[in-house]
């Protein structure tokens, strides 16, 4: 990605995303340009991004119609729904990254894709729907209000299907989500680690259920974004839904410890006067606690957005309550982190 590439404005991206969703066809595969912060991150941690070759999934060679479609999959629990976006220039012989995006409590995959703009990335993007509960809301594992559904098994099955029917790069499988969806990302990092290369929750709801039984022994590329003014899931932790939950720094520290990161640095990375602090744990994998796989980086990062609310920073449309900056993009930042952190995953043929 060229550092001289001009940043696409939020207005143009929103218009393109809306047109793509209305017509059922994604726009041309366009890499979202890096901000100053993400460009710096790519330079310092992304040495593996271009050196790790693609690992084609079993679905390579299978023709698929580009577009943004709603589909279903039958699991052990029930029939589950999800949205999948295939870029307009999809080539069945060219493995693409796969991004799974998880909505918050009371939302759904369609809403999540709309405010994030993730379908505009040069990747296949999948947006699963949580189980619809009696209260009329959809939610995920990792929260006290979650249904009894085995969402980890659902995601495992969904990955099997997508990788078997589409040309996916098994070295570039990623998960992101907001709020309860961020808590689900935490669950997946704990219990389905081998299926993903890197993780990136935003405004995560890190209830105790999101880390229950977590094995932190495996180095894991992890990025978190959280607003210091989040009134729903407080930056420093709090009490909600009958549970005490940790602050985002306390939640992410075990991942830095798991990766044996020896150095912690902080840097102001906001643009246009925006107050955003990036905390970066680097020099990872040097100790005896962990064993970073060859060619893999296990860096851990936290972006703290001053006064940011329970939102997706850089949102294209409304994403939650509180202040939402337009000068710092969660989508840009996450995409560049993902590009910088490829890693081998376990496809359905290796299970």
Backbone angles phi, psi at 103, to 5 degrees: -75, 170
The 10s digit of each residue's pLDDT in 46-96 is 445 558 999 999 999 999 999 999 999 998 878 999 999 999 999 999 999
Backbone angles phi, psi at 205, to 5 degrees: -95, 95
pLDDT surpassing 90 at residue 22: no
Q: What pTM does this model have?
A: 0.86
Q: CA dihedral defined by 190, 191, 194, 198, rounded to 10 degrees?
A: -40
Q: What is the pLDDT of residue 20?
A: 38
Name the DSSP letter for residue 33. Answer: P
């Amino acid at each position: 990605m060229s550092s001289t590439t001009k940043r696409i404005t939020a207005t143009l991206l929103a218009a393109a995303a809306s047109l793509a969703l209305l017509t059922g066809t994604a726009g041309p595969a366009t890499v979202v340009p890096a901000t100053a912060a993400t460009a710096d991150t790519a330079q310092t941690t992304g040495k593996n991004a271009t050196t790790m070759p693609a690992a084609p999934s079993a679905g390579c060679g299978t023709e698929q119609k580009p577009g943004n479609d709603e589909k279903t999959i039958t699991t052990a629990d029930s029939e589950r729904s999800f949205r999948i976006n295939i870029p307009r220039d999809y080539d069945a012989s060219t493995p693409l990254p796969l991004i799974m995006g998880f909505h918050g409590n009371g939302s759904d995959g369609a809403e999540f894709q709309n405010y994030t703009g993730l379908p505009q990335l040069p990747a296949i993007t999948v947006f699963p729907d949580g189980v619809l509960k009696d209260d009329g809301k959809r939610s995920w594992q990792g929260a006290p209000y979650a249904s009894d559904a085995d969402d980890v098994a659902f995601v495992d099955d969904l990955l099997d299907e997508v990788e078997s029917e589409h040309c996916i790069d098994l070295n570039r499988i990623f998960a992101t989500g907001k709020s309860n969806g961020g808590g689900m990302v935490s669950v997946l990092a704990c219990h389905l680690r081998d299926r993903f290369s890197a993780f990136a929750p935003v405004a995560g709801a890190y209830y105790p259920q999101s880390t229950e039984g977590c094995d932190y022994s495996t180095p894991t590329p992890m990025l978190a974004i959280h607003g210091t003014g989040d009134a729903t899931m407080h930056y420093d932790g709090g009490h909600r839904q009958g549970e005490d939950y940790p602050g985002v720094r306390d939640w992410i520290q075990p991942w830095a410890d798991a990766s044996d990161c020896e150095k912690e640095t902080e840097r102001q990375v906001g643009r246009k006067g925006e107050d955003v602090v990036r905390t970066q744990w680097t020099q990872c994998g040097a100790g005896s606690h962990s064993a970073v796989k060859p060619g893999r980086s296990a860096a851990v990062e936290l972006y703290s957005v001053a006064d940011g609310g329970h939102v997706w920073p850089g949102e294209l449309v409304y994403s939650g309550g509180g202040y939402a900056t337009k000068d710092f993009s969660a989508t840009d930042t996450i995409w560049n982190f993902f590009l910088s952190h490829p890693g081998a995953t376990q496809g359905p043929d290796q299970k």
